[in-house]
Structures are given as C-alpha cells and as structure tokens.
Amino acid sequence: MFAVTILGNNSATPAYGRFPTSQVVTINEHQILIDCGEGTQMQLSKYKIRKRKINHILISHLHGDHYFGLVGLLTSMGLLGRETDLHLYAPAALEKIIQLQFESSNISMPYTIHFHPLTEEGIIADENKFSIKCFKVKHTIECWGFIIKEKKVPKKLDKEKAVEYNIPAAYYNSLKEGNDYVTKEGTIIKNELVTTPNTPEKTYAFCADTIYFEEMIDKIKNTTLLYHEATYLKDLENKATQYCHSTTVQAATIAKKSNAKKLLIGHFSSRYEVLDDFLTEAKEIFDNTELAIESVTYIV
Amino acid sequence: MFAVTILGNNSATPAYGRFPTSQVVTINEHQILIDCGEGTQMQLSKYKIRKRKINHILISHLHGDHYFGLVGLLTSMGLLGRETDLHLYAPAALEKIIQLQFESSNISMPYTIHFHPLTEEGIIADENKFSIKCFKVKHTIECWGFIIKEKKVPKKLDKEKAVEYNIPAAYYNSLKEGNDYVTKEGTIIKNELVTTPNTPEKTYAFCADTIYFEEMIDKIKNTTLLYHEATYLKDLENKATQYCHSTTVQAATIAKKSNAKKLLIGHFSSRYEVLDDFLTEAKEIFDNTELAIESVTYIV
C-alpha cells in the first residue's frame, strides 16, 4: 500500500468547510504527514488515522495554512502518551516557534522531536522501506517540495518454487536481492528459477505552494503521482503570478512536461465554492488528473 | 442582548468531535472572544458569527487548547481585509509567539493589533456599553479569569410621557442620566415623571482553568451568569487537584457560595464521551446549572 489521503485542500483561509493543507502518505505500515494546517489533529481523528503511526512530519513553508495545526498536534501526541521519536523536517525558523510555545505552556513532551531544518536539496530521510527527498520551489517565502519514494528489493520471491528447490527460508532475503543459492552438495540454483523481477519503485511528489517554473520539471521527472497546487482557474493567471501560485493549466503543463503518470491538484482559492472547472481545465492539458478531495485516499 | 455562545467545550485534546475552549460574548452590537482554541475560526464560520465584529479577544492562559487557534484567526482577519483595530488581552509571553509567526510568514496585517499584557487584577477595558475586568485564578501556569459587565444608564425613558411633556429629543439622554428637564418658561419637569429605573446591570464571569479555591468567591460575587470549568466528575477530585482543575461539585460550590444567578460548566475531560453526569452532579449542589454545549447561546 502506497497512497495519499487528503485532510485539507484549501488555500489561505478556510472556506466552504474546506480545511487548509494537510496530507497523510501511507507506505505499508509507515505514515508521513505532509503539512499541518489548523485543524489537522481533528481531521486525523475524524478519518480515524492514528497519530501514533506518524513518525515523520514534513512542513513545506511557514505560511499559517500549512503549519498552524502543528503545535496542537505535537502537544496532543504528548498528552496521549506518545513515547516514539518523531522526525520533523521544516524551514529552520519553525524550531523556535515550537520551542517558545512549549516553554510558555510549561508542558514537557514524553517523546523526542528531532528537528531537521531544510537547508539544501537532496535526501532528507533514508529508511528501510522509503526515502524522502526535498527540493526547492518558488513562492513568496522559502518553500520546499518533497518526493517520497518507496524502496523495493529487486526481485519478488516465488515461494512455491523456493520450497520445491528445498531452499531454507533463511536464504529468502538473499534471493530477493538477486543472489543464486548454492546447495550443500555445491549445486547452483540460479536466481531466475525462483524469483521474478519486482515492479518498478513508485514515487509521490508534493510540489507545495509555487509559481509555475519549468526548472521544476527536471526535479520531479517520471513521478508516479504528482501533487501540484492549482490555486486558481486559468483566467486568473495574472493573480497566480502575482501571489506566486499556479493555475489549473500550469499544474497540468508541469505534469505533462515532467511525464507524470497521474496528477492531483489542490490548494483551491477560497474564492471558488464549486471546484468542477478545476478538473475540466486541467484535463484539457493532462487527462489523468484528479481533484484532491478531503477524506479521499489516492493510490500512488 | 447580552449572551455567550459556546464554540468549544473540551479540555486538552479534542475528543468526540468536541472542540477546545472558545466562547463569543455578545453585548448588543459588540462581540468579545474569550479564548481561541485550535479550530476557532472554523467554528466561527460554521455558526455564522462574523469575525469582523470581534474587536476584543481575551486569552486566559497559554495552554494550547486555549489559544492555538489565535494566530490563524488573526491571519484570516487580515487576509479578509480587516482594517479595524483589534484589542488583545493575554499573558505577556503571547506577544512574542504571535510576532515570530507573523515574521516567518512575511505577511503584514492590514489592521492594528493592540496587545495588552495582563499584569494585575482590575479593569482592562472600559467601553461605552461594557467593561472587562480580569482576575487571577489558580492553575499550573499564569491564568486569568474575566468579568464582563454591561453598562446601563440609570433610567429608562418613557417616550410617550416625554412627548406628552413636550421635551425635545435632544434632552432624552440627559433624562436617562436622571436629570430633570426645565422648560423655556422655567417649569421643572421632574425626572421621575418621564422615566422608570433601569434593570440592574448584568455580569458574565469566565473562570478559565482553575483548581477549586475559595478566595475566588469574593472576586466574582453576585454574577448573573458564571462560567466555571468542571473538567472532572466528583469521584476524580484527586486528579482535579493534581492537575489544577475542578470537579462538577467544586464548580457548583463556587456558584453557590458566590451567589451566582446561574452556572455554566465546561472544559470537559476527553475521558468522558457522555456528559449527562456532569449536569446531574452539579445540580445536586446548585440547581440552576447548564452544560456549555457547542453552538448553544446562553442569555446572561
């Protein structure tokens, strides 16, 4: 399972019941929270996503609609007795903002928060089952995108075949890595006999808040699922440029030029009550587009 | 109209859909926000309370469930184009917390926030139609209660009588203040002939988060509507004492001993899904009690 669940899809101020940006990425048993607008902890409860399973939080930038729910979530994690370490990746200035609020409340957390300030593009987390990379986007303040990539062993084991060849289970991981098996008698069981090639590794790219800029294309090439903001419909391209945001057409153009498999658009302006036109406009450029809708889980 | 509307009634972490503490007090055309837990701006929208009309915000203390919605609300007020000054009364440390977040977002507000740090007990706001007083309560950190008092002119005008005596409208305010009217011919129209005594001035006291302590009684005597926290049912008095909170019975005892007309209890612990027992227990001590329920407006 590699998927993203939308907790909030609105920009700036909440409107029409739409919450500000927050998404949960699930990779098997791991959960990664991307951005944490006000109300995220309520949204997690509403959609029965367990806060306990989130060990990585990524904050793209320090506009309130992307992080005003963070200190509340961190505090609640503590009040609920969390003991597991938490890794937080964000612009450097966030550390002091959090510290100051913890100090003022005089509550100490029963778990450790490892704060990782984002400083340069590249791998920021390298776990067994996934890696996280950050890259710069262009907004009115320092702003980061993220690419989450699942890690797979090169081969899938054909267990029936492995049993047939009397290969002990202790060697299964070695087979998945592509190695042959040598029996006690010295017979070589070729790897190809008991494995098949694994499916390609998938990626989810989150492009945060950004103006349209083509240098991004190289950074996110061939993404399986690409999230790109589309704050405005195409007729408001001037406004998008003015506020360093993007339109439907611009988001779809990035998806097309970067050869994404699928595009997810969100961060809708509060000026729009109905979102249908966002989908229509984006699909004209890039057909495999979906709207990021609260509560919906999109498979990567 | 003098009333309080509950936006959130839960303590510490949100639970069972209950939001953290926030209340809006309405005095005629004025609105005062007391505490601003996470999600308050969404609750204001949900209950169609116009953010624009709030010119005073009171923050009792710096535990997150009482103020984590504040910077979001202040930011949204700015994004929505507010120009009217806003008065914010809170523990001193909040000023830096807000400043730091405004600085990081690089957004400047189109309106002025007057920050009034709470330092000593007494009148903090003295407006035409109401006054606000703060007083210290006892919690794990610096914590303040508030008393909002409506101001009335001493007399109510009997307009029919005033017309009968040919008193020009320009003198009506003077009559309400208790003055007689002297005609051009020098005849004195006694005030009592055209007015009746006004009804007594009402008060709303908000006792914030506090341990049971009897010194409070003197500070809030004869309140029309008293809000006192009741985080726990009576069997958890030890826990209440440990965390500097109160029980149902303690809240009701304060209401009884301070001669309140009516008691409102809230700040319910997340351990309770059903709240019925809170009402039953409080009523055993002080019958005129109500639960502070989200969305409900209680007349002072």
Tokens of B107: 């957004």
Chain B residues 133-152 with CB within 8 Å of chain A: 140-141
What residues in A contact B72, CB-CB < 8 Å?
A: 38, 64, 68
This complex has an ipTM of 0.91
- A-B CB pairs within 8 A amount to 98
pLDDT digits (tens, 9 = 90+) for A201-211: 999 999 999 99
Q: Which of A41, A96, A104 sits opposite B62 (nearest CB)?
A: A104
Q: Whole-angstrom Cα distance, residue B143 to residue B208?
A: 7
Q: Whole-angstrom Cα distance, residue A232 to residue A90?
A: 26
What residues in B contact A19, CB-CB < 8 Å?
A: 42
Segment holding A155, helix H or strand E: strand A155-157
Chain A residues 222-241 with CB within 8 Å of chain B: none
As a whole number, mean pLDDT of residues A93-119 equals 96
Instruction: Please check whether residue B102 touches A, CB under 8 A.
Output: no
As a whole number, mean pLDDT of residues A88-101 equals 97
Residue A197's Cβ-side half-sphere holds a number of Cα atoms within 13 Å equal to 3
pLDDT at position B107 is 85
Q: What does the angle CA B165 – CA B166 – CA B169 come to, to the nearest 5 degrees?
A: 115
pLDDT digits (tens, 9 = 90+) for A38-83: 999 999 999 999 999 999 999 999 999 999 999 999 999 999 999 9
What residues in B contact A271, CB-CB < 8 Å?
A: none
Q: Report the gap between the CA of B166 and the closest CA in chain A (Å).
A: 54
pLDDT at position B226 is 98
Q: Whole-angstrom Cα distance, residue B236 to residue B240?
A: 6
Tokens of A226: 């690409």
Instruction: Please check whether residue B92 touches A, CB under 8 A.
Output: no
In chain B, whose CA is at the least distance from the CA of A14?
Answer: B42
Percent pLDDT > 70 in chain A is 100
Instruction: Please check whether residue B91 touches A, CB under 8 A.
Output: yes
Phi, psi of B57 (to 5 degrees): -125, 130
pLDDT digits (tens, 9 = 90+) for B198-213: 999 999 999 999 999 9
Q: Report the gap between the CA of A14 and the closest CA in chain B (Å).
A: 7
CB contact under 8 A, B100 and A105: no
Mutate to test the interface with A, among B38, B44, B73, B140 (most CBs of A within 10 A): B38
Q: Dihedral, CA atoms, A204, A209, A214, A220, nearest 10 degrees?
A: -10
Mutate to test the interface with B, among A40, A59, A76 (most CBs of B within 10 A): A76
pLDDT at position B78 is 96
Instruction: Please check whether residue B39 touches A, CB under 8 A.
Output: yes
Q: What DSSP letter does each residue of A183-205 carry, written as one string?
A: -TT--EE-HHHHEEEPPPPPEEE
Phi, psi of B119 (to 5 degrees): -125, -45
Q: Which of B64, B75, B79 sits opposite A75 (nearest CB)?
A: B64
Q: Whole-angstrom Cα distance, residue A234 to residue A214?
A: 17
Give all domains of chain B, ordered by start, each with its CATH number: 2-151+200-299 (3.60.15.10), 155-196 (no CATH)
Q: Report the gap between the CA of A218 and the closest CA in chain B (Å).
A: 28
pLDDT digits (tens, 9 = 90+) for A245-260: 999 999 999 999 999 9
Which single residue is written with the structure tokens 């005129």? Answer: B288
Among candidate residues B239, B296, B294, the one with its CA nearest the CA of residue B267: B294
Q: Dihedral, CA atoms, B255, B259, B264, B269, nearest 10 degrees?
A: -10
pLDDT digits (tens, 9 = 90+) for A151-179: 998 999 999 999 999 999 999 999 999 99
What DSSP character marks residue A236? G
Could you tell me where the DSSP H helices lie in B205-274? 215-219, 237-242, 248-257
Q: Which of A12, A14, A140 sits opposite B106 (nearest CB)?
A: A140
Q: Which of A68, A79, A93 sits opposite B12 (nearest CB)?
A: A79
Instruction: Give the residue ranges of chain B where pLDDT is below 70.
Output: none
Q: Whole-angstrom Cα distance, residue B293 to residue B7?
A: 8
> Is a pLDDT exceeding 90 seen at residue A144?
yes
In chain A, whose CA is at the least distance from the CA of B41?
Answer: A14
Q: Which of A12, A71, A91 sits opposite B68 (nearest CB)?
A: A71
Q: Whole-angstrom Cα distance, residue A121 to residue B269?
A: 44
pLDDT at position A107 is 85
